C-alpha cells in the first residue's frame, strides 16, 4: 500500500514511517522542518530511512505544496504534522499554530475529499480535555482545552469530523497521551529530565511534581496508527494512552535509578495550560482495534535513556 505521512521527520512521524517501510509499504513522507527544534535533530530522525527506495521524502510545507499531486495513488494518510507544545502556544507565536495545526489540516482534508482514501488518521491530543473533572477520561468526557495549542488540536479534530460528516472521508482521530521514547521532541518532559540528569544539570519542575501523566511508549502510538488505519471506525475518536498513571516525581525517580545519577530538581511555578492530571481510558481503542499497550514505564524509560545517552551530543544546543 502507499501511505502519506505528514510530519515525517518529527518524533512520531519518523517512527511511523520506519514501521510502515518495515512492513513492506511505500511511503511519501513530507516535512517542512519547522525550526521549533533544530533541523539536524529531525535529519537524524530519518537517517535510517532516508535512502530507502520505498520512501519518497518531500521537504516542503503542506500549506504550499500541490497536495493533489502529493496524494496521487495514496491509500491512507497519517497526519502527524503540527507545531506541538503547550507553553509556546501562548503569546505572539500563535499564528504558527493556526497555520500549521489548523490551516494545514483543512487544506489536506480538502485535498483528500474527492480521492479514494481508505482512512485518514489524524494525530490529536489529550490536551483537548484540559483539566477534566473525572478520571480516567473516556471519549465521552467533555472537551475543554486549557491551552491555545489544545484549542488548535481540537479545531483539527472538528475539521476532520466535518469532512467525514459532509463528504464521507473516513477520518479517525487519535488522542495521544504524552508519547515518549527514543527521538522524543527535545521540549518534552522526559527528554529534558533524562538529558539534564545525564549532564548533571538542574531540572525545572513546574509545580510540586505531584502532577500525574499517562505516559505512552512510542511503539504503542505507532501500533495504534496502523491498527486504526485498518480497523478504526470512520468518524471515530480514540484515546491512545499508556495504560498507567504516574506522578512526575515518581518517573524522575525511575530515571535516577536507571541512569545511576541523582537529578537536581528546582521547583518553579506551575505553567499556564498544563493539565494537572492526565489519565486515559483506552477501552474503546481496545474494543475496535485491539489497542493494548504492553511495555511498562520502567522498560520504556530504559530504552529512552539508553538511546539518549548514545545520542546526547545531538541535543547540545
The footprint of ligand NAD (CB under 6 A) covers 6-7, 9-13, 30-34, 42, 61-63, 80-84, 100, 104, 123, 125, 153, 176, 178-179, 185
The H helix count followed by the E strand count for the chain is 11, 13
Closest distance to ligand NAD from the beta carbon of 62 (Å):
4
**What's the rounded Cα separation, in Å, for the pair 257 and 245?**
19
Name the residue with the smallest CB distance to ligand NAD.
Answer: 10
Among 143, 106, 103, CA closest to 127 = 143
* Measured CA distances, 88 to 10, 13, 69, 93, 222 (Å): 17, 21, 33, 7, 26
The CA radius of gyration of the chain, in Å to the nearest whole number, is: 19
Give the shortest CB-18-to-ligand NAD separation in angstroms.
Answer: 13
- Which residue number, 150 or 170, has a Cβ lying nearer to ligand NAD? 150
> Given the complex with ligand NAD, which of 261 and 277 has the nearer CB atom?
277
Beta carbon of residue 101, minimum distance to ligand NAD (angstroms, whole number)? 7
Q: What is the spatial distance between Cα 279 and Cα 134, in angstroms, rounded to a whole number?
A: 10
Residue 153 or 161: the one with the smaller Cβ distance to ligand NAD is 153
**Neighbour count for residue 230 (Cβ, 10 Å):** 11
Q: Closer to ligand NAD by CB, 117 or 179: give it.
A: 179
76: which DSSP letter?
E
Among candidate residues 122, 129, 149, 180, the one labeled active-site is 149
Task: Please report how close the Cβ of residue 287 comes to ligand NAD at its closest, in angstroms.
Answer: 22
The region that residue 39 occupies, defined by phi over 0 for left and psi between -120 and 50 for alpha, beta otherwise, is alpha
Looking at beta carbons only, is 170 or 241 nearer to ligand NAD? 241
| Cβ 19 to ligand NAD shortest distance, Å | 14
Backbone φ, ψ for residue 306 (5° rounding): -60, -45
Residue 176 is among the residues annotated as catalytic for this protein:
no
Q: Which residues are catalytic?
A: 149
Amino acid at each position: 500500500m502507499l501511505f502519506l505521512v505528514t510530519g515525517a521527520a518529527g518524533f512520531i512521524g519518523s517512527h511511523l514511517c520506519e514501521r510502515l517501510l518495515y512492513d513492506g509499504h511505500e511511503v511519501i513522507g513530507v516535512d517542512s522542518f519547522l525550526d521549533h527544534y533544530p533541523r539536524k535533530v529531525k535529519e537524524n530522525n530519518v537517517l535510517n530511512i532516508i535512502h530507502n527506495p520505498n520512501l519518497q521524502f518531500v521537504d516542503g510545507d503542506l500549506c504550499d505544496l500541490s497536495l493533489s499531486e502529493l496524494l496521487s495513488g495514496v491509500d491512507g494518510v497519517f497526519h502527524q504534522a503540527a507545531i506541538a507544545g503547550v507553553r509556546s502556544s501562548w503569546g505572539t507565536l500563535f499564528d504558527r499554530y493556526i497555520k500549521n495545526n489548523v490551516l494545514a489540516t483543512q487544506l489536506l482534508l480538502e485535498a483528500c475529499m474527492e480521492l479514494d482514501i481508505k482512512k485518514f488518521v489524524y494525530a490529536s491530543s489529550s490536551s483537548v480535555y484540559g483539566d477534566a473533572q473525572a478520571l480516567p477520561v473516556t471519549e465521552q468526557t467533555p472537551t475543554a482545552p486549557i491551552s491555545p495549542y489544545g484549542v488548535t488540536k481540537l479545531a483539527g479534530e472538528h475539521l476532520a469530523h466535518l469532512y467525514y460528516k459532509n463528504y464521507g472521508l473516513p477520518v479517525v482521530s487519535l488522542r495521544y497521551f504524552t508519547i515518549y521514547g527514543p527521538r522524543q521532541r527535545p521540549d518534552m518532559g522526559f527528554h529534558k529530565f533524562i538529558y539534564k540528569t545525564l549532564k548533571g544539570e538542574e531540572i525545572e519542575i513546574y509545580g510540586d511534581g505531584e502532577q500525574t501523566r499517562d505516559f505512552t511508549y512510542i511503539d504503542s502510538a505507532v501500533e495504534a496508527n496502523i491498527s486504526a488505519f485498518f480497523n478504526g471506525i470512520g468518524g471515530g475518536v480514540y484515546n491512545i494512552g499508556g495504560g498507567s498513571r504516574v506522578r512526575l516525581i515518581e518517573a524522575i525517580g525511575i530515571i535516577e535509578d536507571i541512569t545511576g545519577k541523582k537529578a537536581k530538581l528546582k521547583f518553579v511555578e506551575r505553567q499556564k495550560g498544563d493539565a494537572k492530571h492526565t489519565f486515559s481510558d483506552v477501552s474503546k481503542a481496545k474494543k475496535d482495534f485491539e489497542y493494548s499497550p504492553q511495555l511498562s514505564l520502567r522498560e520504556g524509560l530504559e530504552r529512552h535513556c539508553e538511546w539518549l545517552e548514545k545520542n546526547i551530543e545531538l541535543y547540545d544546543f
